[in-house]
A = this chain, B = another copy of it.
């Protein structure tokens, strides 16, 4: 039980070489003869030796650790993004350290401190916003930072965002083309830049098309919020005939309330659209028209950037990706 891990020293002795030889045998591109290398690997295999990445990180100033900072991992969209990131991280030879944050103050800051303690090569932030000072500290320490869907203007980190405003505009046009007159936007109170961007784009496009939008905001971005928002929007004297929901989860809650509680037919009496394209959006109980988050592309951009030698290109200022509109059954006249 209290037996320790086997070290390079033991392998060296068993293979009858020096420990530097062992080190070289496990370093790609190092200068070792084929025969020595073979003997060392055999000894290592037999002893169950595995390079200590902590010690290696100490020497190389590169740990291979990438911190993933995220709240609400259990949410469909978040977990899909998490999967894409960890998978691509692994393919790139890195390893993911997962840090859960909550809505409390300083939660993200504490996560980044953890990243620093483990000397992570980079951190990818999917929730919340870190304090400027800690961002500066990370940057000074040579750690790379990626912010996903958190609009921010301080230079240094790579910022990956979507064309949220444009999406809002596109779905507004689609609603109008479907003959809808009374537009509504069902948002959460979270007020993150992406959510507000969708709201803004939707509202402005509607105004351009000569329509007003009634906006309600409630709770978080989940199913329950959708139910409550349905309650508030569908009891209005001038009931909306088209609703753009800030997330798919909100849309699901909204649709369930609309159908089962208000007996409203979708899309005949009410058009609905969401955002994220979570798995449930494709389920036949919903068949939700929605915008798809380009998760794979997001993960690619993030990891490519943090693997680069000199990330000081113009890319580091931020990239804006396109979210495709996925036509399903909740908006008339595809």
Q: Which residues does A use to contact B, with CB under 8 Å?
A: 1-6, 48, 50-55, 57-58, 61, 63, 65, 68, 72-76, 78-80, 82-83, 86-87, 90, 95-100, 113-114, 116-119, 137, 139-142, 223, 252-253, 256-257, 259-261, 279-280, 283-286, 312
Contacts and interface: CB of A to CB of B under 8 A. Distances in A.
Contacts of A54: 54-55, 57-58, 63, 118-119
Instruction: For the complex of A and B, list the 7 residue pairs with the smallest distance between their C-beta atoms, beginning with the closest.
Output: A79-B79, A285-B285, A54-B54, A256-B284, A74-B83, A98-B98, A74-B79
Nearest to A51: B117
Given A53-B117, A65-B97, 13 more contacts: A1-B142, A1-B312, A2-B142, A3-B142, A5-B142, A48-B140, A54-B57, A65-B118, A73-B83, A74-B80, A74-B83, A86-B99, A95-B99
Contacts of A100: 83, 86-87, 90
Nearest to A260: B284
A115 to B, nearest CB: 9
A72 B98 CA distance: 16
A65 to B, nearest CB: 8
A113 B53 CA distance: 11
A52 B117 contact: yes
Contact of A86 (B73, B137, B253): B73
B82 A5 contact: no
A312 B259 CA distance: 55
A80 B76 CA distance: 10
Nearest to A252: B283
A103 to B, nearest CB: 13
Nearest to A286: B285
Given A5-B141, A82-B73, A98-B68, A119 B283 contact: no
A116 B50 contact: yes
A257 B285 CA distance: 9
27 contacts: A5-B141, A6-B141, A48-B140, A50-B116, A51-B117, A53-B119, A54-B55, A54-B57, A54-B58, A54-B119, A55-B58, A58-B58, A65-B97, A73-B83, A73-B86, A74-B80, A79-B79, A86-B98, A86-B99, A95-B99, A95-B118, A96-B97, A97-B97, A98-B98, A256-B284, A259-B285, A261-B284
